[in-house]
Chains A and B, each alone.
Chain A
Amino acid sequence: MWAAILLTALGCYLLKLAGLSVPDSLLAHPTMQRVAELLPVAMLAALIGTQTFGAGSALTIDPRLAGLAVAVAALLLRAPFLVVVALAAVTAAVLRML
C-alpha cells in the first residue's frame, strides 16, 4: 500500500511540475497560447457540470442545481464572490432541510 501511495505522490507531483516547466518558446506559438488559455475555461465548465449533476457514476438533479441557479442570478446582479458562494450553499442546505 505504501509503495502505491508514494508512487501516486511522486507521479502526481511530476505531472504538476511538468506543466509549469514547459519552455516559454513552445508556449509562445499563437496556437499553443490559445489552447492554453482556453483549457481552464473548458475544464472549469466541465467541473461545474460534473460537480452539479454527478452522483457517483450516475446523473441526478438535486438541490445543487438550485444552488447553481441562485449563483447565476447573484452573478448577473454582480454580487461579490463570497456572496455568490454563500448563497449557493445556503440554498442547497435549506432545500435539504425541508
Chain B
Amino acid sequence: MTEQSISLRHVDAREALRLAADGYRIVDVREQVEWDAGHIPGATLLPLADVASRYAEVLTDPNAPLLLHCAVGARSARAATFLAGRGFTNIANLTSLADWRAAGGAWEVPEQLLTPAQARRYSRQTLIPEIGQKGQRRLLDSKVLLIGAGGLGSPVALYLAASGIGTIGLVDDDLVDESNLQRQVVHTVGRIGQPKTASARVTLEALNPETRVIEHRERLSADNVERLIAGYDVIVDGTDNFDTRYVLNDAAVKLRKPVVHGSIYRWDGQVTTFVPFAGPCYRCMYPTQPPEELAPACAVAGVLGVLPGIAGMLQANEVFKLLLGVGETLAGRLLMFDAMNTEFNEVRIWRDPDCPACGDRSPFLAEPATARQEVPA
C-alpha cells in the first residue's frame, strides 16, 4: 500500500455518521451555491477550486481527523488526494451525500437572504465579515433620505445605490444647471434644465435597477419635514443653508432619526453624525448660526469639485455603519477635512443639557418614537 492510501479512505454514510460523532471535522468541497441550497451543520465550506490556495489557512492541523464530502465523492476524493500529498494523515471521504441524508445525517437549509443575482452583484461586500449576506439583506431593506441632490447628495446617492440600499429618497426642488456639473456627478449635460430629482433618478436606476428611487420634488420646510423624513431609517443632510439644517435637526430629534451631516466651503468640509439623545444634535454643536456673509453658499463662495465628493463619501460611510450597526460612527465628533493641505482634524462635540431640541428639558423627550411608516410612492 502506498503512503497515500493509508491516510485516505472512502467511507459510506453509516461509517461517516460514526466518524462525525467521533469528532471528525467535516469539510464540504462543493461550490457556494450548492452549500447555500443545504449543507451539514457545522461543516466547513472549502470549494475544491480553493483547496490548493486556502487549505493551509483553513485546515491548520494535518493530524486532525477530516471527513471530506462533495455530492458523490468525486471532487472530495481529489481534494483528499491533494491533502494527503501535503501531509494530512487521517482523511475519510464520504462517497454519497444523498446516502448521508437518507441515513438521517444532520442537514440544514440556510434561509435564502439574497437571490442568486443579488449574491453575485454584492459578492465583494458580502465577503466582508461585518456585512455578509445578512448585512446585505439589511441594506436592501433600508430606506435612506437625501436632503439635497446636489454636491453632497450626488456622490452619496451613487454609492448608496451601487451598494444596494433598497430605497433612496431625494428631496430637492431645484433644476440641473450647467454650473452644477463640475461636482454634482449624478447629473449630465443632457439633463440640464430637468428637475434634479428626476435627473438623479435616471442615473441611479441605470446604476442599480433594484434600488427604488423616490422623488420628493419639494423644498424641505417646517411644514413638510416630518412627513418627508418619517418613513426613512437614516437622513443625509446635504443642504446648502442654515434654515433647512435647523428645521431638519429639530424634526429628526423629534422623530429620533439619525442624521449624517456634511457641509462644505471652497477647500474645506465638515462631517459628523447626529444620533438623537444618544449624542449631540446640530443645535448642540452650533447653537447660533453665523451671519450670511460668514457662511456663503457654494454659488457665492465657490467650491472645489472633489470636495463634496470626499465629504459625501465620508457621509456614505457613516450611513453604512448606522444601517449595519457596526464600527464607530462620527457621533460626538466633528471631522474637518482641509483639501488644500490634505489634512483631517476632529474636535469633540457634546450633547448640551441646555439644548432647546435635545437637552434635559427637550419637548421631544416624552415623544414616543414614531412607528416606521411606509414611504409614499
Do A and B interact? no
